[in-house]
Amino acid sequence: MITLDSVTKSYPTGNTALSDVSFSIDRGEFVFLVGPSGSGKTTLFRLLIRDTLPTSGTIMIGEWDIAHLPKKHIPHLRKRIGVVFQDLKLLRDRTIFENVLFPLEVANMNDQEAKEHVEAILEQVGIVDHRFKFPVQLSGGELQRAAIARALAFSPDIILADEPTGNLDNATSWEIVRLLQDINEHDNATVIMATHNTDIVNSLPKRLLALEHGKLVRDEVREKKHKKD
């Protein structure tokens, strides 16, 4: 599904965000991406949605070679990948319903069909009662759910969640992780979740990719599951 082969990303300033990173992720996998701040997690996500180009190496998503994808196909790629951004990127002057509807409007989907779809997604992520509220009226966990709902708008094959538990308390963090797990299991979507939360990472028997200074230092499947109290 996702294959990176010797991917390096350097910036003109001389900074190297990713260095010779290679891995492969199958459809339906749930992967934790860990590493300290500045280790290259966000850069990796930006490369996957073609928000930036690799300096060298190959990135394949399905049959698409991302670095050589014609510009006109980028919108198609971004429909296949739902992103939960670290800063959420919700539009403050639109309600939660309108925020989730937004990508469908962009895709020119039929109005009625789009509204029904959004209603179903909001139900799925558990914030249907907040649909007519504005982002400023929601708690951190609810905002994360709204961002996840928007990422689900196109029923994507891949979900990239960049630190979705970053500013949340432990209980809310677990709710978000369970929601992502649920999406992974029921929709068979590949989920890559970047996180700092070692408690969550250690508790779930999922694959772990660890980045440090832009290099992939660990790629393992964690078998042992710690029960959460």
Closest separation in Å from C-beta 177 to another protein: 23
Nearer Cβ to another protein (49/204): 49
Using DSSP's 3-state secondary structure scheme, residue 206 falls into: coil
Q: How far apart are CA 211 and CA 22, in angstroms?
A: 11
Residues that bind another protein in the complex, under the rule CB under 8 A: 49, 51, 72, 74-79, 83, 85, 89, 91, 102-103, 105-108, 150, 154
Minimum Å gap between C-beta 158 and another protein is 13
How many CB atoms are located within 10 Å of the residue 180 CB? 23
Name the residue nearer to another protein (CB basis): 46 or 145: 46
Q: 84: which strand partners?
A: 161
Which two structure tokens, joined as six digits, stand for 179?
């929601």
Smallest distance, Å, CB 163 to another protein? 16
Separation CA 54–CA 25 (nearest Å): 18
For residue 23, what are the β-bridge partners?
A: 4
Minimum CB distance to another protein smaller for 7 or for 84: 84
Q: Which is nearer to another protein, 72 or 227 (CB)?
A: 72
Three-class SS of residue 210? strand
Of 226, 89, 88, nearest to 167 by C-alpha is: 88
Residue with Cβ nearer another protein (79 or 222) = 79
Dist CA 180 CA 30 (whole Å): 9
Minimum distance of another protein from residue 53's CB (angstroms): 15
Minimum distance, C-beta of residue 168 to another protein, in the bound complex (Å): 22
